Amino acid sequence: MGLKSWFTESFPVDTDTLITLSSEPIPNHLKRWWWGLGGTPLFMFMIQVITGLMLIFYYIPDPDKAYQSVEYITYTSKFGWLIRSIHRWASNIMIAALLLHMLRVFFTRTYRRPRELNWMFGVTLLILTLLFGFTGYSLVYEQMSYWAMKVGTGIAGATPFIGPWLADFIRGGSEIGQNTLTRFFLFHIALLPFITLTFVGLHLYLIRTHGVSELKFPGDEKSSKKTYPLFPDHVYTELIIVTFILILLVCLSLLFPAGLGEPANPNVTPLHIKPEWYFYPVFRWLKITNLRVGVLGPIIFIILLYLWPFIDRFFEKRFPDREITFWIGLAGFLTIMVFLVWEIFGH
Amino acid sequence: MKRRNFIRKTAVSLASLAGVVAVVSYLRQFFPRLAGGKRRIPLGDTAHFPVDTYTFLEEHNLFVYRDYEGVKAVSAVCTHLGCILEKSTDGFECPCHGSCYNDQGEVLSGPAPRDLSWYRVSRAADGKVVIDPGTIVSAGDKFLTS
Ligand code: HEM
Ligand code: FES
């Protein structure tokens, strides 16, 4: 028996089905890569899984050893600094790509019926990715990590009703310590990846069943067909993006490798603490409001984000010929940008 | 009620109860009981503290103030989200979101929701001067040394 027939017998997959599945028709507008930004976070997620696995080989989730183990990865282990830097940079690019993907979905209004649920899955993915950032940053156990944990769990503790309970759950007690680090590690390498994969699966499944919304551009009428196949045409576009991002990642990691601050000291808050840039708007918001409003604000924002497709429909029905939701969205987006820039330049 | 029904209902109720207990105790496992008892902090000889100054006790996260009359102790933990305060010229300042407190620990500005806590300083039974972080006193209360 030849190898091929042995294989098809032991692993009976229908190649025809595979071909149909992989040549899923894609609307023509996705030939413009900036409309297909959803693939980028997916790729970044894969990079995070690979580099993350490599980092776990040396990382030790113990308050007394975590910092040293990161130091070891950065300065002693072979190419550890590169793996770590790529992991760091990819997290930033993943969040940036997610925000762009979300903006494109938002402003092309493709979250509308029947895709409301998929928008909500998307918001969940955004939150999960932010949680990845928060827990990952904390693992380094440098000063900034420690105080980010302190402020972050403090915010959780100020959530109405479930706050104290939530904070104790995240910390594994009333103070930050071994339990907290164990939990953050577990969240970062097991729970979050598992939940994220589930939601990515749901997200992609719904995209396939609904199909990507078709957008019309001038010039598209020229081609007779409205769609083109996922494989090989769209995969080719994605490959170009992937190549570009890989080059970008390596360049960024070479030019700005991930550094290491002072080790965590629970008794001294460093003078200028700042979170990662994607938390800047919330950070600024916390500074200018009191504790209650500071915590309620982001929660309400997230709820509105989840409900956006329905809010959009409501306004659409009420005021059919005015683009109210577009202006609300733009105003919201600009406000967040103002907060972000304010935090970059303010003190 | 038939005998059979009675037995069935009792069995179902007991099984559900067991299920609830199992789930609750399973969830309970995620909330460790950590002894967070506030222990008294011995101050040693109060004469060691510089006069008219707030001295930061690093491992206890509090400031001890001493003047010619006596000693008092104030928490150095920001009431907003728990960062450790810095002494500023006429009060305390938080490096995290910029809350400012005056010398009395009262919030002047920023997002902090509450004033700082002052802890009781007293002489324990064994004659040592101790801070009791479990007992809150007003900013004016001093442990008189002279
Ligand atoms: C790990 C995170 C995510 C991955 C891997 C992902 C992946 C994708 C992909 C591959 C598409 C196909 C179309 C395109 O590429 O633009 C898509 C569409 C979509 N995404 Fe995402 N996405 C993620 C997060 C989000 C977020 C944060 C939102 C919004 C809150 C969102 C909402 C949507 C919606 C509503 C569609 C359908 C758009 C249409 O049919 O035109 N996704 N996503
Ligand atoms: S923790 Fe002090 S101002 Fe936020």
pLDDT for A280 equals 94
ipTM value for the complex: 0.79
User: Per-residue confidence at A218, pLDDT binned at 50, 70, 90?
Assistant: low
Q: Are residues B50 and B71 in the same domain?
A: yes
Q: Does B130 touch chain A (CB under 8 A)?
A: no
pLDDT for B12 equals 95
Name the more confident of A120 and B30. Answer: A120
Q: In whole angstroms, give the CA distance from residue B124 to residue A328.
A: 63
Q: Quick one: which atom of ligand 1 is closest to the CA of A39?
A: 10
Q: In whole angstroms, give the CA distance from residue A118 to residue A108.
A: 15
Q: Quick one: which atom of ligand 2 is closest to the CA of A150?
A: 1
Q: Does A173 touch chain B (CB under 8 A)?
A: yes
- CATH number of domain containing B130: 2.102.10.10
User: Per-residue confidence at B133, pLDDT binned at 50, 70, 90?
Assistant: confident
B86 Cβ contact partners less than 8 Å away, ≥ 6 residues apart: A269, A271, B92, B93, B94, B95
Q: Are residues B47 and B27 in the same domain?
A: no
Closest CB to B84 among A158, A268, A283: A268
Are A181 and A63 within 8 A, CB to CB?
A: yes
Over range A130-157, report the average pLDDT.
94
Dist. CA A122 → ligand 1 center (Å) = 6
pLDDT for B36 equals 61
Q: Are strands B118-123 and B70-75 parallel, antiparallel or unpaired?
A: antiparallel
Q: Are residues B116 and B94 in the same domain?
A: yes
Is there a domain that residue B54 lies in?
yes
Q: Are residues B51 and B100 in the same domain?
A: yes
Q: In whole angstroms, give the CA distance from residue A61 to residue A64.
A: 9
Q: Are residues B51 and B73 in the same domain?
A: yes
pLDDT for B41 equals 85
Is there a domain that residue B27 lies in?
yes
Is there a domain that residue B36 lies in?
no
Q: Is B15 helix (H, G, I), strand (E, B) or coil?
A: helix
Q: Does A298 touch chain B (CB under 8 A)?
A: no
Beta-carbon separation of A267 and B110 below 8 A: no
Q: Residue B13 is part of which domain span?
A: 1-31
pLDDT for A201 equals 95
Q: In whole angstroms, give the CA distance from residue A97 to residue A84.
A: 20
Angle at A107 between CA A102 and CA A108, to 5 degrees: 100
Is there a domain that residue B64 lies in?
yes
Q: Which of A1-15, B29-43, B94-108 has the highest mean pLDDT?
A: B94-108
Q: Which of A36-40, A111-115, B31-35 has the highest mean pLDDT?
A: A111-115
Per the listing, tokens 């970062």 go with: A188
Over range A106-125, report the average pLDDT.
93
Predicted model pTM? 0.88
Amino acid at site B38: K
Q: Are residues B19 and B59 in the same domain?
A: no
Q: Are residues B117 and B86 in the same domain?
A: yes
Question: E strands of B36-125, at which residues?
Answer: 41-42, 53-57, 62-66, 70-75, 86-88, 91-93, 100-102, 107-109, 118-123
Beta-carbon separation of B81 and A150 below 8 A: yes
Q: In whole angstroms, give the CA distance from residue A283 to residue A200.
A: 28
Q: Which residue of B has its CA nearest to A274?
A: B96
Name the more confident of B37 and A93. Answer: A93
Q: Are residues B15 and B60 in the same domain?
A: no
Judged on CB neighbours under 10 Å (0-12, 13-18, 19+), A342 is: middle
Q: Is the pLDDT of residue A243 over 90?
A: yes
Q: How many domains does chain B have?
A: 2
Q: Is the pLDDT of residue A220 over 70?
A: no
pLDDT for A215 equals 74
Chain A CB contacts of B85 below 8 Å: 269
Q: Does A160 touch chain B (CB under 8 A)?
A: no
Residues A288-324 pLDDT 10s: 998 899 999 999 999 999 999 999 999 988 888 888 8
Q: Dihedral, CA atoms, A176, A182, A185, A190, nearest 10 degrees?
A: -140
Residues B74-128 pLDDT 10s: 999 999 998 999 988 889 999 999 999 998 999 999 999 999 999 998 888 888 8
The encoded tokens of residue A19 equal 């071909």
Q: Are residues B139 and B112 in the same domain?
A: yes
How many C-beta atoms lie closer than 10 Å to residue A244's C-beta? Answer: 12
Q: Which of A196, A200, A207, A210 to mutate to test the pocket of ligand 1 (most atoms within 8 A of CB)?
A: A207
Q: Are residues B18 and B72 in the same domain?
A: no
User: Per-residue confidence at A76, pLDDT binned at 50, 70, 90?
Assistant: very high
Q: Are residues B113 and B87 in the same domain?
A: yes
pLDDT for A94 equals 96
Q: In whole angstroms, give the CA distance from residue A76 to residue A50.
A: 20
Ligand nearest to the CA of A307: 1
Measured over the CA atoms of residue B24, residue B29, residue B32 and residue B33, the dihedral's sign is positive
Q: In whole angstroms, give the CA distance from residue A339 to residue A49.
A: 31
Q: Is A200 touching ligand 1 by the criterion CB < 6 Å?
A: yes
Beta-carbon separation of A158 and B98 below 8 A: no
Angle at A291 between CA A285 and CA A296, to 5 degrees: 70
Minimal Cα–Cα distance from B1 to chain A, Å? 43
Q: Which residue of B has its CA nearest to A151?
A: B81
User: Per-residue confidence at B34, pLDDT binned at 50, 70, 90?
Assistant: low
Are A209 and A49 within 8 A, CB to CB?
A: no
Q: Are residues B7 and B45 in the same domain?
A: no
The encoded tokens of residue A266 equal 């629970």
Is there a domain that residue B139 lies in?
yes
